[in-house]
Amino acid sequence: MFRKFIPHIAATLTLAAASLAAQAQTLEGGPLHIVVGYAAGGATDRVARIVADKLQAKVGVPVIVDNKAGAGGRLAAQQVKATPAGQNVLMVANPAVMVVAPLVFKDNGYDAERDFVPVSHVNDYEFALAVSTAVPVRELSHLIAWMRANPEKSNFGVPATGSLPHFFGLMMGEKAHVQAQVVGYRGSGPLLTDLVGGQVPIAFDTFDVDLPQHQAGKIRILAVSGAKRSPFAPDIPTFREAGLDLVATGFNAFFAPASMPREKVARLAKDIHAVMQDPDTQRRFKDALMTPVVSTQEQTAAMLKAYRAQWAPVVQKSGYQP
């Protein structure tokens, strides 16, 4: 009779052990909130939601994406900075928040290096130089010649003044020895509308924004900013291939508030690293025309340091003030 219960006892013990293991893996402190400094539907928001979908199974608590739009992402940074140590909060941020804003705003409301801890770099994106079909050029060298011959027409649009496309456009102008008036827009949508309609002849924006209209023949992308051609459009040359020694990318990365215990930061970095290794996660990034990155916490910190070293001189030399 006793022997009949042995399998049941063993099964019960196995279930109990599994339950304890699951509890041990559960992130302490309740739901994990991922704060995005932009409206739902944008590129940074898509990054947050792709990762959040997979991360919930790793942390064992609900993962909630919170959109805190405003001030170019700075409101979100201010909110996350003030998070008490016991709360589970991460921020997805790009260079506008972590590199540019600290250089151009006197009172930023946060210190990008002191108030945040890098967790995981998850994707890169490139910039594109596109022209209206009304501009009679098909190569970068032809555009540079056209700009020199038509300085009064050589305006270039950017999705926002003070954005990385803005500073990348200035870098190109300096390399090519051309001057152009910068026209700032309230986002990529209005800029793309005017580029397609011919109201602005030239635009600098992220590659993922411009590619669908390029493929539809409504605009022409003349060059992309990566070190090599994009796998999403291998027919488009890099700036280097087109004759200008320019390489630049943007990034999205996860950051924790400095108040978060270091062991929890390390745990979240490990979990996101595992999520980014997942083939389905990588597919979803590529479907969104973004390059997925699998990065450790240490590699993320090194990337950020190198990025600041690259862009700080460009931003400072521009003399840009909000």
Q: What is the pLDDT along the chain (322 residues), one digit of tens a residue?
A: 444 544 544 444 444 434 433 444 899 999 999 999 988 888 899 999 999 999 999 999 999 999 998 888 899 999 999 999 889 999 999 999 999 999 988 888 999 999 999 999 999 999 999 999 999 999 999 999 999 999 999 999 999 888 889 999 999 999 999 988 899 988 888 999 999 999 999 999 999 999 999 999 999 999 999 999 999 999 999 999 999 999 999 999 999 999 999 999 999 999 999 999 999 999 999 999 999 999 999 999 999 999 999 899 989 888 888 8
The pLDDT of residue 21: 39
Cα torsion through 315, 122, 213, 191, rounded to 10: -30
Neighbour-count burial for 228-246, b at 16+ CB within 10 Å, e otherwise: eebebbeebbbbeebebeb
Residues near 125 by beta carbon (within 8 Å), at least 6 away in sequence: 43, 206, 207, 208, 249, 250, 251, 252, 289, 290, 291
pLDDT of residue 92: 97
Name the maximum alpha-carbon separation found in the chain. Answer: 98
Q: Which residues pair with 203 in a beta bridge?
A: 130, 157
Q: What is the pLDDT of residue 10?
A: 45
Phi, psi of 190 (to 5 degrees): -60, -35
Q: What is the pLDDT of residue 13?
A: 40
The whole-angstrom separation of Cα 167 and Cα 250 is 12
Closest by CA position to 205, among listed 222, 190, 217, 188: 188
Query: In terms of Cα–Cα distance, which of 315, 36, 44, 35 is closest to 161?
Result: 315
Q: How many CB atoms lie within 10 A of CB 42?
A: 16
For residues 117 and 256, the answer to whether their CB atoms sit within 8 Å is yes
Task: State the virtual CA torsion across 109, 113, 318, 92 in degrees, nearest 10.
Answer: -80
In what helix (H) or strand (E) does residue 184 lie, and over which residues does it extend? strand 182-184
Helix ranges restricted to H, 220-289: 239-242, 262-277, 279-287
